[in-house]
Structure 1
Amino acid sequence: MNDTRTGNPISTPLKKKSFSLPLILITSLFFFWGFIHNLDPILIKHLRSAFQLSHFQASLVDSAVFAAYFLLAIPAGLIIQKYGYKTGILVGLFFFAAGCFMFVPAANTVSYPFFLGALFVLSCGLAVLETAANPYITILGDPEKAPQRLNFAQSFNGLAASVAPIIGGVFILGEEPKTQDELSRLTQTAKLAYIQAETSLVKGPYIILGLIILLVMFLFLFVKLPEVKEGTEKSTKNFLQVLRLKNVGWGVLAQFFYIGAQIYVFSFLLVFAEDAIQMKGQDAKYYAGMAGFLFMIGRFAGTFLMKYIVPQKLLAIYSVISIILSIWVIIGSGVSTLYALVTLTFFMSIMFPTIFALGIDGAGSETKSASSLLIMSIVGGAIIPPLASKITDISGNIHFSYVVPLICFVIVLLFSLRFKLR
């Protein structure tokens, strides 16, 4: 049986208290993948300096991460359909931990491609986790409150975004890296030793995180999670047919462009601070932490505001403000453009969970397939940042590259306007 308002399947009734532990455990996953994603800006700046990478080459960190979402989203959906949400979560946590531990040989071999490989494996785990956890949160309770519930869980993703850059900055960035001129004066042996020392700084944080993820995996292994039954209807459509459902296709398109914009804004914030206003990384990491904090506050504020403003209308308002801030980043100068970039993260905050919840609204028995497609669209994070970075390399002006996020926010606005704004 489906809910007559949303078309979503009605979950098997469970006592409210039985949701508490599952919700806590699932919400913890939002924190962990938020933490690892928000180490990427630190990693990009660090590896860019250590290996003397161009903006485009540095953006391949994002490509390695989000290509995994494209390749794993459908297999993850099939695993969840056949074996359930819990199995999907366990598989995701395994690959998450394995990718973290691969940073050790990557650092030991002083290989940038090895780092990209470790990030790819880690992100395969994240793709499976997000494919399972996002729809699980939306169906574990009242369907009318699904966007609000998902925004609340995603708020802990924002919490991670506020602390990861500062923690990563302390343990990974260390001292300010040597400039190209300083490196050119080193002998080949001294240069290799320097790069080895720089790459070794990443091992500690990723080993610790890998061990924590293994502990979380064992908790999920022994804790019983309610497998929510999504009615008696079975999935009858292939993925292309699901893509043509009422909201799914537009949701996939909006999510693709939004994620691309989000990843570029966060991943290159430290690089922007360095290139645009010559700010050192040790100082810029606090702005990255501030961006993560505003992102978290934006999620909690969005959850609150959705009690009074329908999600699609709030999404439209935030999209318009994001467009205005992006324009200032492009045409402005000085530290005010960095402030605009940091402020932008507050208004981006509700976009992913709101697009996700609206995108699967009405999917019914195809919810898991729709979820896979929406997670698959996160591949925008692999494509948009390299495109924007190439604009920087060609023009020599990082401000111009923010035309790309501007276009992305326009598309999110168009998605929101498809719904009746009441």
Structure 2
Amino acid sequence: MPPVVSSGDTPVVHATPDGVRYGPALTLLASLFFMWGFITVINNTLLPHLRSVFDLSYTQTTLIESVWFIAYFVASIPSAKLIERVGYQKSLVVGLLIMAAGALGMMLAASIPSYGVTLVMLFVIASGITLLQVAANPYVAVVGNPATASSRLNLVQALNSAGTMLAPLFGAYLILGRSKSGTSAAGTVLTDAERIADAHSVILPYALVAAVLVILAVVIAKFPLPAMGSAGSRVAKADRKNLSLWNHRNLVFGIPAIFIYLIAEIGVANLFVNFVSQPDIANTTHEQAGRYLAFLWGGMMVGRFVGSAVMQRFDASKVLALFSIGAFIVMMITVFAHGPIAMWSLILVGLFHSIMFPTIFTLGIKGLGPLTEEGSGLLVMAIAGGALVIVQGWIADNYGLQTSFLLTAACELYVLFYALWGSKVTHAEADPKVVF
């Protein structure tokens, strides 16, 4: 039996080289990926709902999502500090409980109803997700064979996409399907009483979400979860004195790659319902458009499963380059086409976006060695790029919703640059050890 080592959370043993012992931990972590994907994408059906309830412009609507992603910027460093102090397992529990508190707060915001309280509670939920991201993404990337890190993270991110695929159906049924704005034709003006009734339709979905998060927190708290060893952390602290993150080109260009990619992903997802429901595109209600959104996220799930298998045999950066080219092509079709062609091309971008975040992330931390945790924190902080979706909202207000997707197409070109050149590793260091 491998030797037992003490960690900040539970007794652990060195993992075997074949990675068999990682299975239960990765399975449990996959459930976290599922939940934060599910909760994040509820926003895609929540935003058109709130736009009707509070009579918001596109700029005000995308501000809601901007607040969500500002939380990633604000909470990333405190999250890293918390993990260092209390360990990975307790931090995951805290993150889930923060998310549950925010979900309960959304019930309060719906009861009032209040646009301001909604913004605050979404910030709270996103802060909890940030803590989970800082802990879980680098763990999955580092554990196991470094050569298959991108494949491994794409695999668990596929479960994240399963959550994002189911969330629109959940939101379309329990939010849009139970509201006047969600079941009416585009442009319908609501009375004050109808706005209040629509606001209350959010209470039940978030009550269910809060209950699931609390249950998951209890399961995580009692599970003997593996963690990166404290001894390795002490060595890393000593090694960092002579190392610099900025010597690693793959990280330096990876941070803006994550930032810019998030602008593309979030812009597409948040404006999807409004775009598809337009008369010259698919001419649907918001509820019907919300169901089509499931195809967008379903494409991301399929793409990640396929990408995970493909990257077992082909270089991750080359696969990323191919997917970025595909994304650029379908976004240009979305901008210039009309009718079902424009709708389905926008749906298809989900397939090409699928591998981008996990692949950029693993390429970004490759070769960082004892700097892996710090690099991971910066990459998670870059998720704040989603806050700049407000720029696309401004473009939509001033130049048209369809034209605003030119911003998305431009983002795909930077991902292509990163895949072809920016992701090349320089000054590679030894990878950190993971212990059980």
TM-score with structure 1 length normalisation?
0.91
The runs of at least 4 consecutive aligned structure 1 residues that moved more than 6 Å come to: none
Shift of 1:244: 4.7
Aligned residues of 1:101 and 1:210 also touching (Cα < 8 A): yes
Partner of 1:169: 172
Aligned pairs, number: 402
Match of 2:236, SS state, is coil
Partner of 1:145: 148
Partner of 1:195: 195
Cα distance between partner residues in 1 of 2:176 and 2:132: 28
Shift of 1:195: 1.7
Shift of 1:111: 0.6
Aligned residues of 1:85 and 1:136 also touching (Cα < 8 A): no
Match of 1:268, SS state, is helix
Aligned residues of 2:251 and 2:364 also touching (Cα < 8 A): yes
Shift of 1:96: 0.9
Cα distance between partner residues in 1 of 2:119 and 2:350: 26
Partner of 1:3: none
Aligned residues of 1:176 and 1:281 also touching (Cα < 8 A): no
Do residues 392 (structure 1) and 396 (structure 2) align? yes
Cα distance between partner residues in 2 of 1:252 and 1:348: 17
Shift of 1:180: 9.2
1:270 counterpart (266, 273, 276): 273
Check 1:334–1:254 CA distance in 2 against 1; reply closer, same or farther (3 A cut). same
Cα distance between partner residues in 2 of 1:217 and 1:349: 28
Shift of 1:87: 2.4
Match of 2:128, SS state, is helix
Shift of 1:246: 3.1
Q: What do the CA deviations read for 1:191-219 (whole angstroms, capped 9, x no partner)?
A: 1x222211111111111111111111111
Query: Which stretch has the larger CA shift, 370-379 or 304-313?
Result: 304-313
Amino acid at match of 1:222: K
Q: What do the CA deviations read for 1:78-123 (whole angstroms, capped 9, x no partner)?
A: 2223332212212211111111110111011111111111100000
Aligned residues of 1:176 and 1:282 also touching (Cα < 8 A): no
Amino acid at match of 1:225: L
Cα distance between partner residues in 2 of 1:340 and 1:306: 25
Shift of 1:62: 0.9
Cα distance between partner residues in 2 of 1:101 and 1:243: 41
Which ranges in structure 1 are unaligned for 5 or more consecutive residues?
1-10
Shift of 1:182: 5.5
Amino acid at match of 1:14: A
Query: Which stretch has the larger CA shift, 269-278 or 283-292?
Result: 269-278
Q: What do the CA deviations read for 1:356-408 (whole angstroms, capped 9, x no partner)?
A: 0000001111111111100000011011x11011011012x211101111111
Match of 1:227, SS state, is coil
Shift of 1:286: 2.1
Do residues 115 (structure 1) and 108 (structure 2) align? no
Match of 2:56, SS state, is coil
Cα distance between partner residues in 2 of 1:231 and 1:182: 58
Cα distance between partner residues in 2 of 1:211 and 1:201: 17
Aligned residues of 1:318 and 1:348 also touching (Cα < 8 A): yes
Do residues 301 (structure 1) and 306 (structure 2) align? yes
Partner of 2:108: 105
Aligned residues of 2:48 and 2:273 also touching (Cα < 8 A): yes
Which ranges in structure 2 are unaligned for 5 or more consecutive residues?
1-11, 426-436
Partner of 1:318: 323
Aligned residues of 2:320 and 2:419 also touching (Cα < 8 A): yes
Shift of 1:241: 4.5
Amino acid at match of 1:77: A
Partner of 1:8: none
Check 1:182–1:293 CA distance in 2 against 1; reply closer, same or farther (3 A cut). closer
Match of 1:141, SS state, is coil
* Two-structure CA RMSD over aligned residues (Å): 2.1
Aligned residues of 1:110 and 1:195 also touching (Cα < 8 A): no
Shift of 1:228: 2.4
Check 1:231–1:390 CA distance in 2 against 1; reply closer, same or farther (3 A cut). closer
Check 1:158–1:61 CA distance in 2 against 1; reply closer, same or farther (3 A cut). same
Partner of 2:79: 76
Cα distance between partner residues in 1 of 2:165 and 2:392: 24
TM-score with structure 2 length normalisation?
0.88
- Identity in percent: 32
Equivalent runs, 1:8-407 vs 2, <5 Å: 13-15=14-16, 16-174=19-177, 175-177=179-181, 183=189, 186=191, 191=192, 193-229=193-229, 230=232, 233-235=235-237, 237=240, 241-275=244-278, 276-277=280-281, 278-383=283-388, 385-395=389-399, 397-407=400-410
